[in-house]
Structure formats: C-alpha cells, structure tokens
Amino acid sequence: MTTTRVPITFWAALCVASTGYVISQTLRFSLQGRDFNMMWVAGCLATEGRIAEIYNLRAFDAAASAMMGIQTAGNAYSYPPHALFIAMPFAYLPLGLAFASWNVLTLGLFLYAARFHLPERLWLAGCAPASVICLSFGQYGLLTSALFLLAFRRSVLGGSGADD
C-alpha cells in the first residue's frame, strides 16, 4: 500500500463508520428530520400569517402536533425571524418532499462550495460526520457552511459581492 492511500483509506473508513453511527442513532431515537420539521411548521405558520404562534412555545407546539399528526414534545423554532424567508418556500410542499428538497439543495450548494477547497476529495465533504448530521436532522448547517466557504472565494452566492 502506498503512503498516499493510507490517509484516504483511513478517512474513508472514518466517514463510513461515523455515517453508520449517526444513521443508527437517528433511527433509534426517531430524530429523522427533527430540526427540519420545526422549520417546515414555522414556514407553514408564516405563510398562513400566524407569525405570533411561531415564537409562543405552547402555540407552536400545538400547531406542530396538529400539522404533523404526532405529539412533538415541546420542540420549538429556534431561529431568528429573518430565517423564515428560507423556511417559507418549503411550506408549499408536503413535509417528506420538502425535507428531501431541503437536503438536496443544501448538500448540492455545500458540495459546490467545497469543490474549490477539496477538488480531488469532494466526497469527504459530503460524508463527513457534520454533513451526515445536517442531512439527518435537516439543519441549516450545510447552508451556512456553503455560504461561509463561498465567502472565502469572494463569491456573490457567499455574500461578498464579487463574481464567482
């Protein structure tokens, strides 16, 4: 085995092991899409003009339980009001399709941004434990990471105002 293959093999094994662990824990504790579910509920409430309910814990929990058909056990939308502009478009889709769309869009943007930094090992970015956690829960992490990476490229997408 050459010395260049040892690190790749090590990182590949680590990615596979950590991905397997995160997926098993997600399924074990029924956490699939937990964060995204709250984003979707908040987006639905916002599109219905029920903004006040989003930051009222009891009202939000009641709305989430009713919309999702399950007891949500005190979950809340913990993002600032301007994040609703990101959540609202997904409210027009059924929850499962919205979750899948969110993951495809955020992972795609993240991989696009990471390709400048890991051109020959882009797969590492996609299967890193943080990426898998973001995909499992539907967190904003891949989106914010993509914007952060794009900002270092002086990209308009990253908010720096320069061309890509």
| Residue 51: pLDDT band with limits 50, 70, 90 | very high
Burial 108-141 (b: 16+ CB within 10 A, else e): ebbbbbbeeeeeeeeebbbbbeebbbbbbbbbbb
Q: How far apart are CA 68 and CA 157, in angstroms?
A: 33
Q: How does pLDDT run across 68-96, given as a tens digit for each residue?
A: 877 766 778 888 999 999 999 999 999 88
Backbone phi and psi for residue 11, each to the nearest 5 degrees, phi listed first:
-65, -35
- Which pLDDT belongs to residue 44? 96
Q: How far apart are CA 155 and CA 25, in angstroms?
A: 36
Share of residues in the chain with pLDDT > 70 (%): 73
pTM (2 d.p.): 0.75
What is d(CA 164, CA 162) in angstroms, rounded to the nearest whole number?
Answer: 7
Is residue 66 pLDDT above 80, yes or no?
yes
> How much is the pLDDT for 8?
65
pLDDT band (50, 70, 90) for residue 1: very low
The answer to whether 60 and 67 are in contact (CB under 8 A) is no
Residue 151 DSSP one-character state:
H
For residues 87 and 162, the model is more confident at 87
Please, which residues have CB within 8 angstroms of residue 106's CB and are 6 or more apart in sequence? 134, 140, 142, 143, 146
Q: What is the pLDDT of residue 132?
A: 81
- Per-residue pLDDT averaged across 131-135, rounded? 83
- Using only C-alpha atoms, what is the Rg of the chain? 18
* pLDDT at residue 25 is higher than 80: no
Helix (H) or strand (E) run with residue 26 in it: helix 5-28
Task: Name the least confident of 37-46, 57-66, 121-130.
Answer: 121-130
Among 28, 38, 24, residue whose Cα is nearest residue 70 = 38
Res 49 pLDDT > 60: yes
Categorize the per-residue pLDDT at 127 as very low, low, confident or very high, splitting at 50, 70 and 90: confident
3 pLDDT exceeds 50?
no
